[in-house]
Amino acid sequence: TPLHYAASKNRHEIAVMLLEGGANPDAKDLYEATAVHRAAAKGNLKMIHILLYYKASTNIQDTEGNTPLHLACDEERVEEAKLLVSQGASIYIENKEEKTPLQVAKGGLGLILKRMVES
């Protein structure tokens, strides 16, 4: 969708225009990914803020079972992952490989997110 494109390319003004015009922030592409999936994978922090402001879900799974948090963790997107968790993204959802975001997280990111949820 145009919103997916805007999220992938970090085009804030286009995303806001589309969302103000009634675009569904949870619209899915052919892989059942949302714009939040795209922004999380690309490390587009401001875009995630915008999408969440327009009530985008943080826990939708794509065809591989990945949530936006899985993608942020896999790409070592620390601030994006922290934002998603602070806005309700689950660290417990398993993808089709039966892995949670914490299990795909690299470095110390998994521990950071676990501490956020437990505190």
Runs of H (alpha helix) within the chain: 2-9, 12-20, 35-42, 45-53, 68-74, 78-86, 101-104, 109-118
Q: What kind of fold does domain 2-118 have according to CATH?
A: 1.25.40
Measured between alpha carbons, how far is 26 from 23 in angstroms, rounded to an integer?
Answer: 9
Summarised one tens digit per residue, pLDDT across range 15-26 is: 999 999 999 999
pTM for the full model?
Answer: 0.94
Summarised one tens digit per residue, pLDDT across range 87-117 is: 999 999 999 999 999 999 987 888 889 888 8
Q: Domain segments of the chain: what residues?
A: 2-118
Residue 7 contacts residue 38 (beta carbons within 8 Å): yes
